[in-house]
Amino acid sequence: ELARNNLTRAVLIAGVVVVLMVGFFFFNWRAALISLVTLPLSLIAAGLVLHLRGATLNVMVLTGLVIAMGVIVDDAIVVVENIQRRLRQLQSPGKGELPRSPASVILETLRETRGAMLFATLICLLAALPIFSLQGIAGAFFQPLAVSYVLAVLASTFVALLVTPALCAILLPSGSDAPLD
């Protein structure tokens, strides 16, 4: 119970720091909102898959989710930042360029970043692979951590490739520096 309380406190502190850093990083409430929506969505998706697998929410599962937070935050910020940058370029097209819709810019940005994102996800998953070869008590102890980590990373990639661009299309339709509504 003490370990769970410590982990809960650490997660809450990390959550507050992430909210502050995302707000500071983007200087745009819409872009920050997109990132802050996709972060818990990735964790909820991983938690849902864990629940469907019959896993309990113990300290090792929570630790795996906390470890995956770095990848989850990175996925959320990288996609939104790239789309935001490309939408800014859309607002000031170069000479001879045809005007493009924000949706086409978002799709093009997603095509450019998905390869690197999928390779990064694969590397993160391969880093956890040795844990699955552990035998005995160590294997029983650490495998729930690895499973929750892998599921959170996969959920984060899924959200970053599907949900984040959709939210960008909705919340950043005319560019990332649109005035407040």
pLDDT of residue 130 exceeding 50, the answer is yes
Among 56-60, 90-94, 109-113, the range scoring the smallest mean pLDDT is: 90-94
The amino acid sitting at 77 is I
Full-model pTM: 0.79
Measured CA distances, 74 to 132, 178, 179 (Å): 25, 24, 26
> Tokens in use for 2?
């003490």
Q: What is the pLDDT of residue 179?
A: 44
Largest distance between two CA atoms of the chain: 66
pLDDT of residue 96 exceeding 60, the answer is no
Contact indicator for 103, 169 with CB cutoff of 8 Å: yes
- pLDDT above 70 covers what percent of the chain? 90
For residue 155, name the pLDDT band (cuts at 50, 70, 90).
very high
> Higher pLDDT residue, 1 or 120?
120
For residue range 45-74, what is the model confidence (pLDDT) as tens digits?
Answer: 988 998 898 888 888 888 888 888 888 888
What's phi and psi for 135, nearest 5 deg?
-110, 165
pLDDT of residue 2 exceeding 90, the answer is no
- Which helix (H) or strand (E) segment is 161 a member of? helix 136-171
What would the DSSP string read from start to end of 34-67?
HHHHHHHHHHHHHHHHHHHTT----HHHHHHHHH
Contact indicator for 45, 155 with CB cutoff of 8 Å: yes
Among 136-140, 142-146, 170-174, the range scoring the smallest mean pLDDT is: 170-174
The amino acid sitting at 142 is F
Half-sphere exposure of 121 (CA within 13 A, CB side): 22
The position carrying tokens 């086409």 is 104
Q: What is the pLDDT of residue 5?
A: 84
Mean pLDDT of the chain: 84
**Average pLDDT of the residues in 20-43:** 85
